[in-house]
Structure 1
């Protein structure tokens, strides 16, 4: 059994509204009995005997069946979430900036987004955390207006990435570690 964090793209924004209780019920009906949701932005921790690719496939299938939309998620082992949080060079509690981590299962898309961000020059700060993750900074109160946010919201990137602030990633890390400690390693 492994512990995983699952990050849903595009729910509770842009017309796909899913109540977390309904999401938990759908996941439990699909064999993810210990699934726990965190916040309302589509963060789930769970344990499974499947590998990450299997969790992704079954999770997306459950969402499509229960909610009737073309679901897309990123699945990371609990330990990998902890590594990404630890590797992020930006603060989680700075008053002047917000730290974000953009995730993708499509590494080529993230490579392209990374290059597009690098092309923004010195005014933009980002750091590649691994093949599936890119950390970046935005000014407090100006995230959506930041040059990188505008680049990442282009259709080719938006369809294959999902972004969380660092504080959310820390909450997900802690919840996934708690599941693992409770027996996910068994």
Structure 2
């Protein structure tokens, strides 16, 4: 039984509103009996005998069938999430900057986003792996940061999801707790 972190793309913004209790119940009905949600931004931890690709397919199908939208998720094994968080070179808590990790299950899209960000004059990013890219934004100016503006373009936005490093630490800890419980 594997422990996974599932990150939903684009919910509770832009008209796709899903209550976390409803999300939890839908995933439980789809066979993920121990699904747990964290915060209100589409972060889930769950255990499954399926591999990560199959968990992704089943979660997306569940979301499409239950909530009626073209769902897209990133699924990471809990150990991989832990590795990515540990590899992030940026601080988890800093008064002048915010640390983010952009996740994608489409390596080509992340490669293109990485190259676009690297071309910026202010380049505060580091590739953590084929599925993750860490970057910094000034406190209070995330949406106005050059990298944020690039990542919001439709060609990247549809295949990526971004989380604050503090959020990923909470998801990492919840996934590790789930794995330790033997679920």
User: Is TM > 0.5 for Structure 1 vs Structure 2?
Assistant: yes
Runs of 4+ in 1 over 6 A off after TM superposition: none
**Which residues of 2 match residues 1-186 of structure 1 at below 5 A?**
1-121=1-121, 123-184=122-183
Alignment deviations for residues 139-169 of structure 1 (CA, whole Å, 9 cap, x no partner): 0000000000000000000000000000000
* Normalised TM-score (structure 2): 0.99
Aligned equivalents of 2:18, 2:181: Cα separation in 1: 27
Shift of 1:124: 2.4
Shift of 1:60: 0.3
Aligned equivalents of 2:11, 2:123: Cα separation in 1: 27
Runs of 5+ in structure 2 lacking a partner?
none
* Normalised TM-score (structure 1): 0.98
Aligned equivalents of 1:46, 1:22: Cα separation in 2: 15
Shift of 1:42: 0.3
> RMSD of the alignment, in Å?
0.5
Counterpart of 2:182 in 1: which secondary structure? helix
Aligned equivalents of 1:53, 1:153: Cα separation in 2: 25
Counterpart of 1:168 in 2: which secondary structure? helix
Shift of 1:61: 0.3
Aligned equivalents of 2:123, 2:129: Cα separation in 1: 19
Runs of 5+ in structure 1 lacking a partner?
none
Alignment deviations for residues 56-76 of structure 1 (CA, whole Å, 9 cap, x no partner): 000000000100000000000
Aligned length: 183
Aligned equivalents of 1:24, 1:152: Cα separation in 2: 29
Aligned equivalents of 1:9, 1:160: Cα separation in 2: 8
Alignment deviations for residues 42-98 of structure 1 (CA, whole Å, 9 cap, x no partner): 000000000000000000000001000000000000000100010000001000000
Counterpart of 1:183 in 2: which secondary structure? coil
